[in-house]
Structure 1
Amino acid sequence: MTTARQKLSLSEKVATGYSRYFPDSLIFALVLTVIAMILALIYTDSGVGEVMDAWFVGIPMLFTFAFQLAFTYAAALVLVDTPRIQQLIRRLAQLVRTPQAAYIYTGIFGALTSFVGWYIGPVVTAIFARAVAKELKGVDYRLISAIAYSSFVISLTGISGTIPLFVASEGPLTQTLGGLIGLQDTTFSVMNLASAAMIVLATTVTFYFIARNKKHVVSFADLAVGAADERTDRVDDEESTDLADGDSFASRVNRSRLPILIIGLLGLGYLVFYFVQNGLSGLDLNTVAFIALVMGLLVQRNAVTYSASFARNLVSTGSIMLQFPIYGGIASIFAVTGLAGVLTEGLVSISNEYTYLTITFLITGVLNLFVPSAGSQFVATAPFFIPAGESFGIDNTLTVMAITYGDIWTNLIQPFWALLYFPILAAGTRLRVRDFLGYCLPILAVVGIIWIIALNFIPLHL
């Protein structure tokens, strides 16, 4: 055992240690809940009853979001859960010739798609990473999963970024911000685009050396559960056989492709009309869910196989349905009891004009472990961060970007957003979130350094 451990590279030792000591993502959420409750009791005037009330009110806060994501991922898995689509994915994956190329392409592809839409990147990147790992020998499935997930780190600085969109729209904090802050000053600023490019380059190089020094490869096949990957064809065949046993009107309708094809074509027609009218600005999580539903209807054999596939794949989204409401409860404790404001105000008070942006970035990163919802965290902390920044003569836009970067930064070690990738990456395998999150630790350091440099030395505009 000792000999095998000595043969591991440094990154493998870190990842192995992380996997060994980091608890299940549900335990992580429960521990954070208890810590948030204790902190609220210590640092605010809230009593036990008020803290519990805040927790109770917060649990349903993310019900809608959890259902949106669960539906989207189940529908996306239905889309790839057909022989025809699997064959197409295999052909695309076969264009990747080496494990190093697989890692590089996954990282770049994931970054580009996540920058376009945080709700798009996880679906398509997880599907791509899974397909490549299944087809190409020598690909470490834990590492390519980590690369797929880490590519998400620039997502909320992109076109669909929650905070940039929030400050560009009229809202309760518009006066605090001194007016609207357009995307040209946040998402499309020189600082943001330059730092995003630097992050993609730096993470690609970092993962290149991690992969090159790897001593122990755990492939997709090593983690696959039995013949789970062949279950699609078998189940579809069994369902078709069962349907063919009867020749009643109901049986003929059930095995007919016409009903789902008609609805699928209607949906496709509407999508064309919708995007002609709205362009890319019409892309959001609801749109992505509708696209996945429509595409699945167009490629599945009939309504019965679609329903069976959806039900089978919905099981993979259980972690989202369970854990998102728990984080809603944590976010509510921080917001309702005023804990977020108390901690933010105290830490900001020790900063000055030279350290303010860095401290804001670091504080937000810590708070993100407890409140991984960007919108919730911004609403709770911006009323303290913005005035503090103004008192030091710092542009409000820079403060907004410091909060944005900090909020995304610690997602690299926070399993909440890893659950966006997990349903697809883990389906039919023994993969756990903690198996790949440890590989993101070096990226955490690299990205943190880049964003601190960007906030302090790269101008918003030339």
Structure 2
Amino acid sequence: MALQIQPEQKPNIMERMGGALAEWSEKWFPDAYVFAIFAVVLVSIAALAMGRTPMQIGVDFGSNYWGLIPFTMQMSFVIISGYVVAMSKPVTKLIQRLAEVPKTAKGAVAYVAFFAMVASLLSWGFSLIFSGVLIKEVSKRVKDVDYRALGAAGYLGLGSIWALGLSSSAGLQMATKSSMPAALYKISGVIPLTQTIFTWQSGVMVIVLIALSVAICYFSAPDGKHSKTAESAGITYGDNGIVIGKATRPGEKPEYSPILTIIIVILGGLYLVDLISKKGPIAALDLNTYNLMFLLIGMILHKSPKAFLVACAKAVPATGSVLIQFPIYSGIFGILMGSGLNEVLMNFFVSVSTQHTFAPIVAVYSALLGFLLPSGGAKWVVEAPYILSAAQQLHFNMGWVVQIYNAAEALPNFINPFWMLPLMGVMGVKARDLAGFSFLQLIFHTPVVIIMVWLLGYTIPYVPPMM
């Protein structure tokens, strides 16, 4: 009986789209720092058109350059705390077990996407590092998996649902009076999390976006000889986890003892108990509380101060680009405000809005502005005053406005390399490696998000401000 040779299966349309976009991004997509400079140039040209002189633009940029230093440090600690937890022995062992599940290239990409998004509901910083380590482990086991598709899948939490979860910058800010500027509080009052991330409408968006993202990953991931593996790209992954030796002299013994860790964890835990007892578990949630909680969890998981410090030292390089680039985006914010571009956008936004078109317009506007100000928390401070004022005039639920912002603000993250930085650091890749498959996700997510925030908005009644 003659041996029958099976014809090679041709890539489907999703695979061809993903591959084409990946090849394009590898050739044309700039580094994250260059992307930031492009944004400065674009906003500066617009400011010149508004009548600002080069000297005024320079002053606007420079005087605001250090304006987001506290937020920059908070974001850096989100990365550090997430890294520390993800690189602990218990979590590393869990990741290694999880990595044994997928057996096919397509299944591996979809699998990583699912866990990346679920992890982002807890913390976007943890999601990036957790996904990066999971990707490295999966790559070792599934030899023909495309590392570009895998990396884009690991980045999905930041491009889809992170802001609908517990680390939502806008949601946490609006739930706590002390976190809001006084002028913003006068407009909206406190908007509790029960009106934002804990609504059933928000849950529907989470479920739909997870299902959509996983499906896109599965059907677009290259298979067989069409894959570009980490090995073929010259990327090698060493061992994960933290390796420490033993104390070699008496002075080093405290570094390896869990006693000091227990003391600091108890002190931090007592503070959290007091904070939660005074404010409640939901109102107590903010970026500082999150970072402290994750750091304490990291200390517990690493046990000894030595292991914890080694993990922190390994995490710090992943924050380098954040520390360098966040001030640039703060300068962009200064140019927007100083030139009056923000006022022009506000007036246009209010003039074209009605109660029926408000939701999709907010979504489109927030997504577009996100390309220039890629910061969920800082950008919300810019948008919130006039968006919430318009919502109040239209008797539109302000809690749902926050969720519209959260869902739409994440869209530009798909192709903005700024938020890819921590994952790129773990994987050892460039933004151009991930952008192609991420852009494919953006194509499908954009209409789905706009339609969902529009339709679900009809199910939420107007609620007066809670002063």
| Distance of aligned partners of 1:132 and 1:65 in 2 relative to their CA distance in 1, 3 Å threshold | farther
Q: Residues 266-323 of structure 1, C-alpha deviation per residue, up to 9 Å, x if partnerless?
A: 33444655665546855744225523752575268xx4x8767754653343222221
| Distance of aligned partners of 1:401 and 1:312 in 2 relative to their CA distance in 1, 3 Å threshold | closer
The structural deviation recorded for 1:73 is 4.2
Alignment partner for residue 229 of structure 1, among 234, 238, 249? 238
Q: Could you tell which deviates more after superposition, 114-123 or 211-220?
A: 211-220
Distance 1:306 1:166 in 2: 30
The structural deviation recorded for 1:150 is 1.4
| Distance of aligned partners of 1:292 and 1:35 in 2 relative to their CA distance in 1, 3 Å threshold | farther
Aligned: 1:41 with 2:48: yes
Aligned: 1:174 with 2:180: no
Q: Is the 8 A contact 2:256 2:304 kept in 1?
A: no
| Distance of aligned partners of 1:377 and 1:450 in 2 relative to their CA distance in 1, 3 Å threshold | same
The structural deviation recorded for 1:194 is 0.8
Q: Could you tell which deviates more after superposition, 111-120 or 96-105?
A: 96-105
Match for 1:328: what amino acid? S
Q: Could you tell which deviates more after superposition, 329-338 or 82-91?
A: 82-91
Alignment partner for residue 192 of structure 1, among 184, 187, 202? 202
Q: Secondary structure at the match of 1:219?
A: coil
Distance 2:204 2:130 in 1: 25
| Distance of aligned partners of 1:62 and 1:424 in 2 relative to their CA distance in 1, 3 Å threshold | farther
Q: Could you tell which deviates more after superposition, 78-87 or 147-156?
A: 78-87
Distance 2:257 2:234 in 1: 32
Aligned: 1:138 with 2:149: no
TM-score, normalized by length of structure 1? 0.81
Q: Is the 8 A contact 2:78 2:126 kept in 1?
A: no
Aligned: 1:298 with 2:300: no
Equivalent position of 2:465 in the other structure: none
| Distance of aligned partners of 1:323 and 1:202 in 2 relative to their CA distance in 1, 3 Å threshold | same
1:11-160 aligned at under 5 Å gives the runs: 11-43=18-50, 46-70=52-76, 73=79, 89-152=95-158, 153-160=160-167
Distance 2:92 2:187 in 1: 51
The structural deviation recorded for 1:92 is 3.9
Alignment partner for residue 334 of structure 2, among 332, 335, 353? 332
Q: Secondary structure at the match of 1:138?
A: coil
Aligned: 1:447 with 2:409: no
Aligned: 1:201 with 2:198: no
Equivalent position of 1:247 in the other structure: none
Equivalent position of 2:427 in the other structure: 425
Distance 2:206 2:107 in 1: 21
**Larger helix proportion of the pair:** 1
Equivalent position of 2:362 in the other structure: 360
Q: Is the 8 A contact 1:191 1:454 kept in 2?
A: no
The structural deviation recorded for 1:333 is 2.0
Equivalent position of 1:3 in the other structure: none
Distance 2:81 2:268 in 1: 16
Q: Is the 8 A contact 1:73 1:423 kept in 2?
A: no
Q: Could you tell which deviates more after superposition, 152-161 or 89-98?
A: 89-98
| Distance of aligned partners of 1:156 and 1:270 in 2 relative to their CA distance in 1, 3 Å threshold | same
Q: Residues 147-187 of structure 1, C-alpha deviation per residue, up to 9 Å, x if partnerless?
A: 1111222111222212222233333312323x332222221
Structure 2: segments with no counterpart, 5+ residues: 1-9, 462-467
Distance 1:433 1:326 in 2: 18
Distance 1:79 1:161 in 2: 19
Distance 2:378 2:39 in 1: 16
Distance 2:129 2:138 in 1: 14
The structural deviation recorded for 1:252 is 4.7
Match for 1:204: what amino acid? V
Q: Secondary structure at the match of 1:173?
A: helix
The structural deviation recorded for 1:361 is 1.2
| Distance of aligned partners of 1:124 and 1:271 in 2 relative to their CA distance in 1, 3 Å threshold | farther
Distance 2:39 2:128 in 1: 25
| Distance of aligned partners of 1:324 and 1:216 in 2 relative to their CA distance in 1, 3 Å threshold | farther
| Distance of aligned partners of 1:91 and 1:164 in 2 relative to their CA distance in 1, 3 Å threshold | closer
CA RMSD in angstroms comes to 3.4
The structural deviation recorded for 1:122 is 2.2
Q: Is the 8 A contact 2:124 2:157 kept in 1?
A: no
The structural deviation recorded for 1:371 is 0.9
Distance 1:118 1:309 in 2: 18
Q: Secondary structure at the match of 2:161?
A: helix
Alignment partner for residue 164 of structure 1, among 162, 171, 174? 171
The structural deviation recorded for 1:402 is 2.9
- Give the count of matched residue pairs: 435
Match for 2:39: what amino acid? L
Match for 2:455: what amino acid? F
Structure 1: segments with no counterpart, 5+ residues: 1-5, 245-250
Match for 2:127: what amino acid? G
| Distance of aligned partners of 1:123 and 1:288 in 2 relative to their CA distance in 1, 3 Å threshold | farther
| Distance of aligned partners of 1:88 and 1:200 in 2 relative to their CA distance in 1, 3 Å threshold | closer
The structural deviation recorded for 1:136 is 2.9
The structural deviation recorded for 1:36 is 1.3
TM-score, normalized by length of structure 2? 0.80
| Distance of aligned partners of 1:192 and 1:137 in 2 relative to their CA distance in 1, 3 Å threshold | same
| Distance of aligned partners of 1:282 and 1:265 in 2 relative to their CA distance in 1, 3 Å threshold | farther
The structural deviation recorded for 1:197 is 0.9
The structural deviation recorded for 1:437 is 1.7
Equivalent position of 1:264 in the other structure: 261
